[in-house]
Amino acid sequence: MDGIGPFDPTVGYPSGPAIKEIGPEGRHIPLWKPLHMSRRAFLRGVVCSGTVIAGSAYLFSTASPARADARAVERMISLTVNGRTHTVDVPPNETLAFTIRYRLGLTGTKVGCNHAECGACTVMADGVTVYSCSTLTHRVRSKEIVTVEGIAAPDGTLHPVQQAFIEELAPQCGFCTPGQVVSAVALLNKNPRPTVDEARHALSGNLCRCGAYDHYLRGVMKAAERV
Amino acid sequence: MDVMHNFELYQPGSVADAQAVLKDNPDAWIIAGGKDSLDWFKDRVKQPPALVDISGIAELHGITAQEDGGLWIGATTTLTEVAEDAAVREKFPMLAKAAGLVASPQIRNLATLGGNVAQDTRCVYYRDGFPCYRAGGNTCYANTPTAMNREHTMYEASRCVAVTPSDTAPALVALEAVMVIQRGSRQVEVPASEFFIGPEIDITRMTVLERGDILLGVKVPGKWAGSRQYFEKAADRNVWDFALVNVAMAARTEGGKITAASMVCGGVQCTPRRMSDVESLIVGEAPGAELEGLVKRVAARGARPLNFNHFKVPLMQNLAARAVRSLAV
Ligand SMILES: Cc1cc2nc3c(=O)[nH]c(=O)nc-3n(C[C@H](O)[C@H](O)[C@H](O)COP(=O)(O)OP(=O)(O)OC[C@H]3O[C@@H](n4cnc5c(N)ncnc54)[C@H](O)[C@@H]3O)c2cc1C
Ligand code: FES
Ligand code: FES
CATH number of the domain within which A208 lies: 1.10.150.120
The pLDDT of residue A22 is above 70: no
Question: Do residues A100 and A144 both lie within one domain?
Answer: yes
The reply to whether residue B106 touches residue A111, judged by beta carbons under 8 angstroms, is no
pLDDT grade for A47, boundaries at 50, 70 and 90 = very low
Which of A99, A116, A150 marks a domain boundary?
A: A150
Q: What is the DSSP string of chain A?
A: ----SS--TTS-PPPS-S--EE-TTS-EE-S----S--HHHHHHHHHHTT----HHHHHHT-SPPPP--TTSPPSEEEEEETTEEEEEE--TT-BHHHIIIIIS--TTS--SSSSSSS-TTEEEETTEEEEGGGSBGGGGTTSEEE-GGGTS-TTSPPPHHHHHHHHTT--SS-SSHHHHHHHHHHHHHH-SS--HHHHHHHTTT---TT--HHHHHHHHHHHHTT-
Domains belonging to chain B, first-starting first, are 8-53 (3.30.43.10), 63-119+163-223 (3.30.465.10), 226-328 (3.30.390.50)
DSSP-derived 3-state class of residue B224: helix
Residues B117 and B166: their CA atoms lie apart, in Å, by: 6
Interface pTM (ipTM) of the complex? 0.95
Task: Decide whether any atom of ligand 2 lies within 6 Å of the A117 Cβ.
Answer: yes
| Chain A: residue whose CA lies nearest to B17 | A71
pLDDT at res. B113: 98
Q: How far apart are CA B174 and CA B273, in angstroms?
A: 10
Distance A113 CA to ligand 2 centre (A): 5
Using a CB-CB cut-off of 8 Å, the residues of chain B touching A134 are 34-35, 38-39, 107
- Compute the radius of gyration of chain A from its Cα atoms: 25
From A133's Cα to the closest Cα of chain B, the distance in A is 9
CA–CA distance, A37 with A22 (Å, rounded to integer): 26
Residue A194 CA, chain-centre distance (Å), reads: 29
Please give the torsion angle defined by the CA atoms of residues B179, B51, B267 and A199, in that order, rounded to the nearest 10 degrees: -100
Contact between residue B325 and residue B292 where contact means Cβ atoms under 8 Å apart: yes
A182 Cβ below 6 A of ligand 2: no
- Where a domain ends, among A127, A150, A173? A150
In a domain, A65, yes or no: no
In this structure, are A178 and A143 located in the same domain?
no
Q: Is B8 left (phi over 0), alpha (psi -120 to 50) or beta?
A: beta
Q: Which residues of chain B does A111 touch, with a Cβ-Cβ cutoff of 8 Å? A: 1
Other beta carbons less than 10 A from residue A2's beta carbon: 6
Report the SS3 class of residue B7: coil
Please answer yes or no on whether A72 and B50 come within 8 Å at the CB atom. Answer: yes
The arithmetic mean of pLDDT across residues A93-115, rounded, is 97
- What is the model's pLDDT at position A32? 45
For residue B86, report the distance from its CA to the centre of ligand 3, in Å. Answer: 36
How far apart CA A71 and CA B10 sit, in angstroms, is 7
DSSP annotation of B188 reads E
Could you tell me if B180 and B187 are in contact, meaning their C-beta atoms sit under 8 angstroms apart? yes
Residue A10 within a domain:
no
**What dihedral angle (degrees, nearest 10) is formed by the CA atoms of B153, B155, B156, B159?**
30
CA B107 to centroid of ligand 1, rounded, Å: 9
Q: Give the nearest ligand 2 atom to A113 CA.
A: 4
Do A179 and A132 reside in the same domain of the chain? no
Task: Give the confidence band of B239 by pLDDT, cuts at 50, 70, 90.
Answer: very high
The structure's pTM equals 0.89
Residue A215 is which amino acid? H
CA–CA dist B117, A30 (Å, integer): 40
A48-87 residue pLDDT tens: 333 333 344 445 554 455 556 888 999 999 999 999 999 9
Query: Residues B213-226: pLDDT tens digits?
Result: 999 999 999 999 99
Which phi-psi region, left, alpha or beta, contains residue A114 (left: φ > 0; alpha: ψ -120 to 50)? left
Residue A146, in any domain of the structure = yes
Assigned domain for A87 exists: yes
Average model confidence (pLDDT) across chain B: 97
Residue A137 sits in a domain of what CATH number?
3.10.20.30
Same domain, A144 and A165: no
Q: Is the domain of A131 the same as that of A168?
A: no
Q: What pLDDT does residue A69 have?
A: 80
Instruction: List the one residue out of A177, A175, A167, A176 whose CA is nearest residue A223.
Output: A167
Q: Identity (one letter) of the amino acid at A5?
A: G
How far is it, in rounded angstroms, from Cα B124 to Cα B43?
Answer: 12
Nearest to B242, CA basis, from B224, B275, B276, B268: B268
Within-domain flag for A8: no
Q: Locate all alpha helices (DSSP H) within B160-201, ordered by sequence.
A: 168-174, 192-195
3-state class (DSSP) for residue B162:
coil
Could you tell me if A166 and A144 lie in one domain?
Answer: no
Element (H, E) at B50: strand B50-53
Predicted pLDDT of residue A70: 82
Per residue in B272-322, pLDDT tens?
999 999 999 999 999 999 999 999 999 999 999 999 999 999 999 999 999
Chain B interface disruption, residue of A61, A71, A143, most B CBs within 10 A: A71
Q: Which of B250, B238, B233, B228 has its CA nearest to residue B315?
A: B233
- Total residues belonging to chain B: 329
Nearest atom (ligand 3) to Cα of A172: 1
Whether the CB of A43 is below 8 Å from some CB of chain B: the reply is: no
A122, A150, A178 - which closes a domain: A150
Is B41 in contact with A129 (Cβ distance < 8 A)? no
Same domain, A138 and A198: no
Q: Taking CB atoms and an 8 Å limit, are B130 and A59 in contact across chains? A: no
Q: Is the pLDDT of residue A9 over 50?
A: yes
Instruction: Verify that A209 and A143 share a domain, yes or no.
Output: no
The length of chain A is: 227
Write phi, then psi, for A178 (nearest 5 degrees): -55, -40
Question: Which residue type does B276 have?
Answer: S
Rounded to 5 degrees, what are φ and ψ at B118?
-90, -5
Domain total for chain A?
A: 2
Q: Does A47 reside within a domain? A: no
A42 has a chain B CB within 8 A of its CB: yes
Do A131 and A174 belong to one domain? no
Nearest Cα to B180, choosing from B224, B222, B117? B117
| A41 band by pLDDT with thresholds 50, 70 and 90 | very low
Range of the domain at A112: 76-150
Residue B178 burial (10 A CB sphere; 0-12, 13-18, 19+): buried
Kindly state whether residue A71 falls inside one of the protein's structural domains.
no
Q: Output phi, psi for A159, to 5 deg.
A: -70, 150
For residue A18, being part of any structural domain is answered with: no
Q: Is A143 in the same domain as A164? A: no
User: Any residues with Cβ below 6 Å from ligand 3, and which?
Assistant: A 171-177, 208-210, 212
Residue B25 three-state SS: coil
B2 falls in which pLDDT band (50, 70, 90)?
confident
Percent share of chain B, pLDDT over 70: 100
